[in-house]
């Protein structure tokens, strides 16, 4: 009886906490469907009594190029991060090059640097070279956040790959590069998905780098495009929230599809045989 009571209590607490955490998401959806003239009602409507899709029409009309830029930056950041982080993780985990411990410590310290500090450094560098307002500049900037995380995930995961598998490939005549590409990387699927997902989420939701490195061009990431609806005397809250809803869809779909691989990739290396 006590076990059942405790289980019900835990379930109830879980439901309450989940409701509190998801309420901002519901309120975002609610406001996105609320007419502009009802925004300042007191008290506000808990449900959209007179729903409108004007906000979503504005998104489809104004924000699709910005969504495309964000998608390009996200995919490009994932590609660059995997290109750099996967071989580095393999080298630290299996090749055990001299200085690997110092490199691991450096990557850990790099995770502690505030993004705004790095953004200001990139601004001065890009300004001198005339590279502000280029989408590939944001790919480079976002990768500086994602690569250290990716290297640590790949190192932890690849450390769990049996050394016998690596030795067998070498006996068959495969070099380090062939072993990495044909043996290690396919086995590290969970780590690849984990790093790709978190990298895409960081790049997709980035505001600090995007705002700092913005040169005033017409095409912007969606995190900056939302400012189109914010002015000194007017705030189109239904369009703002509709943009947020639309921008949340790709990330929500990716999280649902990749959650199984992410759970395995994040816990890799936590338990040693």
CATH of residue 99's domain is: 1.10.3720.10
Q: What is the pLDDT of residues 71-108, one digit of tens each?
A: 999 999 999 999 999 998 888 888 776 766 677 777 77
Write out the residue range of the structural domain in which residue 75 sits.
54-266
* Banded pLDDT at 224 (limits 50, 70, 90): confident
Looking at per-residue pLDDT, the higher value among 164 and 104 belongs to 164
> With 50 as the cut, is the pLDDT of residue 268 above it?
yes
Query: How many distinct structural domains can be found in the chain?
Result: 1
Residue 242 within a domain: yes
Confidence of residue 2 (pLDDT cuts 50, 70, 90): low
Write down the pLDDT at residue 270: 46
- Is residue 261 pLDDT above 90, yes or no? no
Residue 31 falls inside a structural domain: no
Report if residue 39 sits inside a domain: no
For residue 214, count CB atoms less than 10 angstroms from its CB and return exposed for 0-12, middle for 13-18, buried for 19 or more: middle
Taking alpha carbons only, the member of 198, 182, 183, 193 closest to residue 265 is 193
Residue 262 placed within a domain:
yes
Note whether residue 3 is domain-resident.
Answer: no
- pLDDT recorded at residue 71: 93
**Taking the model in full, what pTM does it have?**
0.83
**CB-CB neighbours of 1 under 10 Å:** 5
Mean pLDDT calculated for residue range 28-52? 83
In a domain, 252, yes or no: yes
In a domain, 66, yes or no: yes
- Asked if the structure places residue 178 within a domain, the reply is yes
């Amino acid at each position: 009886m006590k076990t059942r009571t405790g289980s019900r209590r835990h379930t109830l607490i879980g439901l309450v906490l989940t409701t509190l955490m998801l309420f901002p998401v519901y309120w975002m959806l609610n406001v996105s469907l609320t007419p502009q003239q009802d925004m300042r009602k007191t008290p506000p409507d808990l449900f959209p009594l007179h729903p409108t899709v004007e906000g979503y029409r504005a998104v489809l009309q104004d924000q699709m190029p910005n969504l495309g830029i964000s998608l390009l930056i996200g995919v490009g950041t994932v590609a660059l991060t995997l290109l750099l982080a996967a071989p580095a993780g393999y080298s630290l985990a299996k090749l055990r090059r001299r200085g690997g411990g110092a490199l691991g410590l450096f990557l850990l310290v790099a995770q502690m640097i505030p993004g705004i500090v790095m953004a200001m450094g990139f601004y001065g560098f890009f300004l001198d070279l005339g590279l502000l307002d280029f989408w590939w500049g944001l790919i480079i900037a976002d990768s500086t956040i994602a690569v250290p995380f990716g290297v640590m995930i790949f190192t932890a995961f690849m450390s769990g790959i049996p050394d016998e598998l690596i030795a067998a490939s070498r006996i068959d005549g495969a070099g380090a590069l062939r072993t990495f590409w044909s043996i290690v990387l396919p086995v590290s699927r969970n780590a690849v998905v984990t790093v790709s997902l978190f990298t895409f989420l960081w790049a997709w939701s980035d505001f600090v780098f995007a705002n700092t490195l913005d040169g005033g061009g017409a095409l912007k990431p969606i995190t900056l495009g939302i400012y189109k609806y914010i002015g000194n005397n007017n705030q189109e809250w239904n369009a703002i929230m509709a943009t947020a809803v639309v921008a949340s869809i790709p990330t929500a779909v990716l999280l649902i599809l990749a959650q199984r691989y992410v759970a395995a990739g994040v816990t890799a290396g936590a338990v040693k045989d």
